[in-house]
Amino acid sequence: MRDLLLATTNQHKLEEYRAIFSDLPFRLLSLHDIPLKMDVEETGTTFTENAELKAIAYAKASGLLSLADDSGLEIDALGGAPGVYSARFAGSEASYETRFRLILEQLKGLPAEKRTARFRCVIAIAEPSGYCQTVEGILEGRIADAPHGEQGFGYDPIFLVPELGKTTAELAPEQKNRISHRGRAAQLAAALLRNWPISSAGKV
């Protein structure tokens, strides 16, 4: 069984990935499991660039097949912000409650049809050789008038899925994993991994 490094220290992400990848023929490792202390600066201007940067860097440093992602919230009325800066919106030390208040204030008075938004996630899988492939998952929705729900993390309490009438923070983890941007990208990544090139050079 081959090792697959899930290059994140985010416990919520690890739990989601481990649930979705549970039937794959890989031993799933996290950054907590290997003696590798490094941070990869997200200098890309797109989710794809950042995911590739991280996956390739961790694969080369660890010598392991590595998976990394970049994801965030895109709000149409804010020109796609916070986008790739979702984790740093209002400052890297700002709480999500602070970010919620800022976003809701900026959207104050906008009707539902103008509060459209989406969660986007790009997953990159890389070999130590530098060979890399990416997949993308998107969940369309809109920004709620106020935070709701205790499940999930990040921007989940203010992201409403209109057809369900709930925010992603009001969904059970199993349901969220099926429909979320990360869940959709991870399902595509799982399909990619089932047919992954077996040579160390990452070639079929």
* Amino acid in the structure at residue 139: L
Please provide the DSSP assignment of 132-167 as one string: EEEEEEEEEEEE-SS---SSS-TTGGGEEETTTTEE
Q: Which of 3, 23, 70, 76 is catalytic?
A: 70
Report which of 35, 84, 26 is spatially closest to residue 17, judged by C-alpha positions.
Answer: 26
Q: Is 70 a catalytic residue?
A: yes
Report which of 40, 42, 39, 47 is spatially closest to residue 70, judged by C-alpha positions.
Answer: 47
Note whether 110 and 38 are within 8 A (CB).
no
Catalytic amino acids?
A: 70
